[in-house]
Amino acid sequence: MVIEARPSRRVTGSEAARIAKQMYGLDATATPLSGEYDDNFRLETASGARYVLKIMRPGCDRAFVDLQIEALHRLAELPVPRVVDSVKETGDGRLVWLLQWIPGRLLTEVRPLTNQVSASLGRLLGKIDHALEGWNRPDAHRELKWDLARAPWIRDYLRYLPRNRPLVERVLDRYEAEVAPVLGQLPQSVIHGDANDHNVVVNGNEIALIDFSDLHYTATVCELAIACAYAACGSGDPLGSVAQVAGGYRETHPLEDRELQALLPLILTRLAVSVTNSAYLKTTHPAEYTSDLYLSVHETPAWIALEKLAAVHPRLGRYALRGVPTTLPIPKDAAPLLENIDLRKEPYIVFDLSVGSLMLGADPRAMEMPALAETLAGKMREARVRVGIGRYNEARLLYSSPLFGTGHPTEERRTIHLGIDLFAQPGTPVCAPLDATVHAFRNNQRHLDYGPVVILRHETGGNTFFTLYGHLSLNSLEDLCIDQPIAKGQRIGWIGAPPENGGWIPHLHFQIILDLLDLDCDFPGVAFASQRELWLALSPDPSALAGIAATPQEPSKTETLASRRALLGRNLSVSYRDPLKIVRGWMQWLYDETGRAFLDLYNNVPLVGHSHPRVVEAVERQIALLNTNTRYLHDNVVQYAARLTALMPDPLRVCYFLNSASEANELALRLARAHVGREDVIVLEHAYHGHTNTLIDISPYKFDGPGGRGRKRWVRVAPLPDPLRRDDPSAGLEYARAAGSLIDGPITFIAESLPSVGGQVVFPPGYLAEIYAQVRASGGVSIADEVQVGFGRLGRWRWGFEMQGVVPDIVVLGKPMGNGFPLAGVVTTTEIAASFDNGMEFFSTYGGNPVACAAGLAVLDVLEQEGLQANARVVGDHLMSALRGIMMSALRATDPPSIVDVRGAGLFLGIELRDGDLASDAVHRLRHRGILAGTDGPRHNVIKIRPPLVVTREDADFFATTLTDVLATNGHE
């Protein structure tokens, strides 16, 4: 195989625009698009019409263009480009043709791929291959380096590989042994042949395929193999990704078993061809390699995917791509697993050991020995049972062995329990449920956290399967030997005690296995959630064989999302393209239903950390005694008011307590209007203050947004200070005077001390001092909305208004003051409180109740005693420095730069990116890398950082490093 040389000179945009005008009469700008040999351009006219202009390589055969055009005509009912006009020829003999532009985003721009997108891609390719079945042209039989039927050409180029040449050689050997002999006998057809990220367009839920320049006649299954190879690149779970694409493909184009047998080796071969081609061009044509988006971006992900997929057991790979075909009839007359304990007749208790277990709670100490052992033993004593059951298919955070994952907390770990646990006294005899033969055993105490383990082989109903027994005692194995017959009900060992049983609470781990994959005693008892269905198919539910009812399961994320959509209002939004189901929170970490950890840099409400034990304890202690309304005297509310006002400057000395920030802002407006005697309000552009009717009326973010009804006559909207002028002394006076020009009598001014929804804005010096002075001169009052930034989040300042050196007339506080427990507050002056005391009673049934105030008091204790304001300053300064370093690097590396600004204080930071799409994509990629962030600002292009105040420098470094990588690989992960 000779690698075809690329054109030495590429057509420029101005030349393409001239050709479009001459050939098709289009006045359009021309933007270059990716292309390996041909020159492709997006044309856009003044009216907004868009096309694709294809200028073929010099010497291109007309039949090759006709081949693509006929294929597109055959696929006209599918989402592929339409041919707009006839083929033309330039003066130098290059063929030119015009295609419809398909709107949307390239697949590379929406990575990481969701399962839905991957499956949709597979379904589309299946439809395309189905539509092209039986179509053949002589010019489709091409000598193409990407044709997997010609893959052995890379053997002559392996010397260019910079690393791991033996791996590529093994892949080639496997191809020649397993694929080459049968490839010509498999179904053949013309295929698209290049479903890479730059040739797939995503528009909402629709998938389209473009660029048919790699059409060729070959084994049809190669279409799927090529798409799977690209799907595996950049995926944290390559096997799962290819399984999703293959599953979608099979829905619209079923595959024969022999095609499925060849699929994984073909995927590996496609990756091997890719890395070899890249290595060759990097060595011999470095400039071409560097400028080629396909090669330079995909090379490293291709190596990673190749290494991971090559390590997959061949049968496991086939199961992933086609499903586990074996069914297992469970005999109904199985013997009890535990001697003299028949669970069909004897009561037992089922434990919840899941990630979201209410029994265990969020504190990791509850999952450590001996605390966990005592918890389970206590529950068994209360229930008066001899056996406790640990559930099958349960996601757990209990596993700490290096086997289950030792990387960063956000990296995926094995969490899905593939068997059941029978907790019982150590020394309890364990028996075979069916006739069997000893297949394997091992007495390594620490092995796989199983401790001593026995595997039995069973033959029943024409099926062979295995059962595994873990956490036995060492003497269980003394009399066993391989291939030893075991009769049903025969004792095979005893439940072990720690430490010989692997260090666990005494119990039997019991698991069914349909295919040991040559792993024997190394077969996992816990799986990665990303491969959950595959491993559950290999280890079906053993409950019936153990004599117990199938243990209940929590609803899946898909089921929960469906129920939410059916039962809750549709405009109750869900974060992220791939929604999260969060079931546990601990300090700065949130955990989904599979046990995946996410660093929470987004949720400002858990101020001192999710499930902080001191806040939890205070709430538990008080709610166990009393929770009632404030018509009754109670010390908690006055103690909290005293503590809170002591943290405020004079003259802020009167408190009101409520349940939410919306209620608090609503009350603040009532206080202001009672004092001013007028309803008129000045607010800032893009402000948001709550969800009640009145607060929507003073929130431009809402009343000027979708579904809004516009500004009310009594609302004046002042310009939001430009955050890029925050250090300009003249800007404060300029913007304050612009706001002051709206004053036409006594008025209320309300603003966040640092606007959050407005884009994490820091006011310029003197801004609040000047506008507050003008408002007071009018006889009005100023309200500081401190919901986002209060209680030390800013590090150097406890309150945001302190940053501007002012004291407001009314301060509004929100749920961070109760760490998420419903507690909000308003603090004002005695004078304004007196105006509000006008004869109309104020009452909030549960505002300031004893439990909420207990939470609030605990939060104040934690803030002070754990030095969290100082931590916000130290970690915030460290993160700010790192982010500004990233910004400076981005300014030098890209044009236009990806980062426009970094601003904020303490742990209230904003990272302004050049546009909303880039910010949305970055947040999407951060979520898939285990970091939760969000976007705000008028253009939704500001990534907001406002984590629990317990985050560490290490967390900050992790975020900075990940953000750097995300921005550098934007669209190419």
Q: Which of 180-189, 500-509, 743-752 bottoms out in mean pLDDT, i.e. has the lowest? A: 500-509
More confident residue, 685 or 4: 685
534-565 burial, b if ≥16 CB within 10 A, otherwise e? bbbbbbbbbbbbbbbeebeebeeeeeeeeeee
642 phi, psi to nearest 5 deg = -65, -45
- Residue 849's CB: how many other CB atoms inside 10 A? 27
Beta-carbon contacts of residue 886 (< 8 Å; ≥ 6 apart):
899, 902, 960, 963, 964, 967
pLDDT: is 58 or 637 the higher one? 637
Residues in contact with 339: Cβ distance below 8 Å, sequence separation at least 6, in sequence order: 428, 429, 430, 431, 491
Closest to 772 (Cα-Cα) out of 762, 764, 763, 782: 782
Cα distance between residue 248 and residue 118, in whole Å: 8
pLDDT band for 880, please (50, 70, 90 cuts).
very high
User: Strand locations in 693-814, DSSP E?
Assistant: 715-718, 748-752, 781-785, 810-813
Give the pLDDT score at 287: 65
With a cut of 80, say whether residue 407 has pLDDT above it.
no
Provide φ and ψ at 457, rounded to 5°: -110, 135
Q: In this model, does residue 57 exceed pLDDT 90?
A: no
**For position 545, what pLDDT does the model report?**
94
185 — pLDDT class (breaks 50, 70, 90): very high
730-762 residue pLDDT tens: 999 999 999 999 999 999 999 999 999 999 999
Q: Is the pLDDT of residue 515 over 60?
A: yes
Residues in CB range of 120: below 8 A, 6 or more apart: 205, 207, 248
Q: pLDDT of 784-796, one tens digit each?
A: 999 999 999 999 9
Pairing assessment for the beta strands 105-106 and 200-203 based on DSSP bridges:
antiparallel
The end-to-end CA distance of the chain, in Å, is: 30
Residue 58 has pLDDT above 90, yes or no: no
| Residues 601-659 pLDDT 10s | 999 999 999 999 999 999 999 999 999 998 899 999 999 999 999 999 999 999 999 99
Q: pLDDT tens, 919-960?
A: 999 999 999 999 999 999 999 999 999 999 999 999 999 999
- Tell whether the model's pLDDT for residue 5 goes beyond 70: no
Percentage of the chain surpassing pLDDT 90?
75
Distances from the Cα of 112 to the Cα of 236, 490, 577, angstroms: 9, 51, 10
State the residue for tokens 């890398």. Answer: 929
Q: What is the dihedral of CA 724, 729, 735, 740, to 10 degrees?
A: 160
Tens of pLDDT along 827-865? 999 999 999 998 888 888 889 999 999 999 999 999 999
In tens, the pLDDT along 114-151 reads 888 999 999 999 999 999 999 999 999 989 999 999 99
The predicted pLDDT at position 587 comes to 96
Confidence of residue 8 (pLDDT cuts 50, 70, 90): low
- In DSSP terms, 338 is beta-bridged to 341, 430
The residue type at 296: S
Please spell the DSSP secondary structure of 829-877, one letter per residue.
-HHHHHHH-SSS----TTTT-HHHHHHHHHHHHHHHHTTHHHHHHHHHH
Question: Using CA atoms, how far apart are residues 317 and 222, in angstroms rounded to an integer?
Answer: 16
Q: What is the pLDDT of residues 40-50, one digit of tens each?
A: 999 999 999 99
pLDDT of residue 669: 97
3-state secondary structure of 171: helix
In whole angstroms, give the CA distance from residue 11 to residue 55. Answer: 8
Tell me, what's the pLDDT at 812?
A: 98
Q: Which residues contact 713 (CB under 8 A, 6 or more apart)?
A: none
Whether 973 shows a pLDDT value over 70: the answer reads no
Nearest to 609 by CA among 911, 907, 881, 930: 907
pLDDT recorded at residue 507: 95
Token code pair at residue 409: 């907390």
Q: Rounded to 10 degrees, what is the CA torsion of 359, 610, 785, 622?
A: 40
Q: Which residues pair with 53 in a beta bridge?
A: 41, 98
Please tell me the predicted confidence (pLDDT) of residue 74: 95
Average pLDDT over residues 531-551: 93
**If you average pLDDT over every residue of the chain, what do you get?**
91
More confident residue, 111 or 749: 749
Q: How far apart are CA 42 and CA 580, in angstroms?
A: 37
At residue 970, does pLDDT exceed 70?
no
Residues 6 or more apart whose CB falls under 8 angstroms from that of 748 comprise 669, 672, 673, 676, 678, 680, 681, 682, 775, 780, 781, 782, 783
Whole-number Å distance between alpha carbons of 921 and 577: 10
How far, in Å, CA of 144 to CA of 139, rounded?
A: 12
* Amino acid at position 953, single letter: R
pLDDT at 971 over 90: no
Q: What pLDDT sits at residue 290?
A: 60
Q: What is the mean pLDDT of residues 570-586?
A: 89
d(CA 445, CA 497): 11
pLDDT, tens digit (0-9, with 9 covering 90-100), for 263-297: 999 999 999 999 999 898 888 877 665 655 555 55
Say yes or no to pLDDT of 405 above 70: no
Dist CA 161 CA 157 (whole Å): 8
Residue closest to 123 by CA, chosen among 245, 276, 288: 245
Give the predicted TM-score (pTM) of the model: 0.91
Q: What is the pLDDT of residues 769-781, one digit of tens each?
A: 999 999 999 999 9
Give me the pLDDT at residue 169, please: 95
Assign 461 a pLDDT band (cuts: 50, 70, 90): confident
Longest dimension (CA), the chain: 97
Among 332-336, 580-584, 677-681, 872-876, name the one with the lowest average pLDDT: 332-336
Cis amide bond preceding 103, omega within 30: no
In the prediction, which pLDDT does 514 show?
94
DSSP 3-state assignment of 693? helix
pLDDT of residue 598: 95
Tokens of 178: 């397993």
Q: Binning pLDDT at 50, 70 and 90, where does residue 972 land? A: very low
